[in-house]
Amino acid sequence: MSNLEDLYREVILDHYRSPRNRGELASPPAIRVEGFNPLCGDEIVVYLDVQDGVLVDIKLTGHGCSISQSSSSLMSAAVKGKSVEKVRETIATFKQLMTVHQASLDEASAAEPLDLRALGELAALQGVVKFPVRIKCATLAWNTLSQGLDELE
């Protein structure tokens, strides 16, 4: 397990040090949504360019702790180029990951397995559930993305 945890730590650090999809998009036409986590001081601005039901581009600005920053970078890499429907699925799966209690996660392989392989690199954030105060850091970008998609409708 510790090798896996090392790998996850590497993924999180990599996204923190080299965040993906940083920048801005012209808004409009892109949607601009702001998110704020007062518990930690994390701030994020998400720009979404959706065309014909596909999230063709996503850009992020903002600052905050390593968890919030790496989570937003991982998110952008996971959803860019996907259909809005698929993006919503990914949001739901990620939120599920963040709500699964660690104890049940350890036993999960048998009972109701969360498909970690479907999450790809996002699975690296699963350790966050051990630290409830950091969950809001990890979910900030996702909630902001979700809010942006709602504005489309």
CB atoms within 10 A of CB 93: 17
CA distance 44 to 69: 9
Residue from 25, 45, 54, 65 that binds Zn ion (CB under 5 A)? 65
Q: Which is nearer to Zn ion, 54 or 65 (CB)?
A: 65
Of the listed pieces 2-10, 56-64, 97-105, 144-152, which binds Zn ion according to CB under 5 A? 56-64
Counting residues that bind Zn ion (by CB under 5 A) gives 6
Q: What is the CA radius of gyration of the chain?
A: 15
Can you list the positions of beta strands (E) in 5-145? 31-37, 42-51, 54-63
Establish if 66 lies at the interface with Zn ion (CB under 5 A).
no
CA distance 117 to 99: 18
Q: How far is the CB of 66 from Zn ion (least distance, A)?
A: 8
Q: Which residues bind Zn ion (CB under 5 A)?
A: 40, 42, 64-65, 68, 137
